[in-house]
Amino acid sequence: MNPLQVLAAVAAAWERLGPYLTRLSGESRERLASALEALRAADAGGERRGHAEAAARLVLDCLPPEEARRLDAGDDARYTATAGETTVHGFRADDLAVLLIDGSPMVGPVLGPVRTRLLAQPALDDADVRSRGGDPLAPGLIRLPGAGGRGLLPGFQFREDALPWRVVLEVNAILDAGRDPWGAADWWLSDNAWLRTAPASLLGTARDEELVGAAQSLLEGE
């Protein structure tokens, strides 16, 4: 058994296999979460391999026997291995931690890079916002799950006094950020053909109407 391949295969088949893991509770869930957290925190090498083996055993034990046998044998998987990296259909072992612990769907060859890019942008956590006199739970704010499920609020949403820009709340409502926070964050932080720049860069420049119009144009195009 290649434990990294097993974990990557579960991430790749999350729609089918995920319910077996999300139903875990108590000590079983804690042990698996601990092993996955240790895995993604470890550097390449024997330590990482050991955490992967522990996590893979726990995963296989909670799956139906036929699913466990298929994973252990590597059936139906397009497996690749490069310098210290193992993927199955473009999914990595660490993606399983993102799915199970962080509760984020942003994994795999397409969505994973988007998640990495968005989480690399300046952000505040709840304590940061409260320390500056703001409310991190204010309706309309984009909230992204970071490592360990820790909530992160993209920093562009706030003025220097930690109050949100009014236009950000208006546009977030148009973008339905509560349902799709990743999509909303990506809209704000990516170059926009209508605006010829990233929308977040226009905050505080008296171009609020253009921001609202650009967001509404998305709905008109649906």
**Residues 4-13: pLDDT tens digits?**
999 999 999 9
pTM: 0.86
Pair (40, 75) in one structural domain: yes
Pair (205, 158) in one structural domain: yes
Pair (100, 161) in one structural domain: no
Pair (17, 80) in one structural domain: yes
pLDDT at 48: 86
**Residues 50-63: pLDDT tens digits?**
999 999 999 999 99
Pair (7, 100) in one structural domain: yes
Domain finish residue from 71, 104, 137: 104
pLDDT at 123: 96
- Residue 138's domain comprises 121-220
Q: Is residue 18 part of a domain?
A: yes
Domain finish residue from 39, 73, 104: 104
- 3-class SS string, the chain: CCHHHHHHHHHHCHHHHHHHHHCCCHHHHHHHHHHHHHHHHCCCCHHHHHHHHHHHHHHHHHCCHHHHHHHHHCCCCCEEEECCEEEECCEECHHHHHHHHHCCCCCHHHHHHHHHHHHCCCEECHHHHHHCCCCCCCCCCCCEECHHHCEEEEHHHECCCCCECHHHHHHHHHHCCCCCHHHHHHHHHCCECCCCECHHHHCCCCCHHHHHHHHHHHHHCC
Mean pLDDT by groups of 10 residues along the chain of 222 residues: 91 96 93 94 80 94 92 65 76 96 95 96 94 90 92 94 92 96 97 95 96 91 56
Pair (25, 57) in one structural domain: yes
Q: Is residue 110 part of a domain?
A: no
Pair (134, 88) in one structural domain: no
pLDDT at 73: 73
Domain count, the chain: 2
Pair (100, 9) in one structural domain: yes
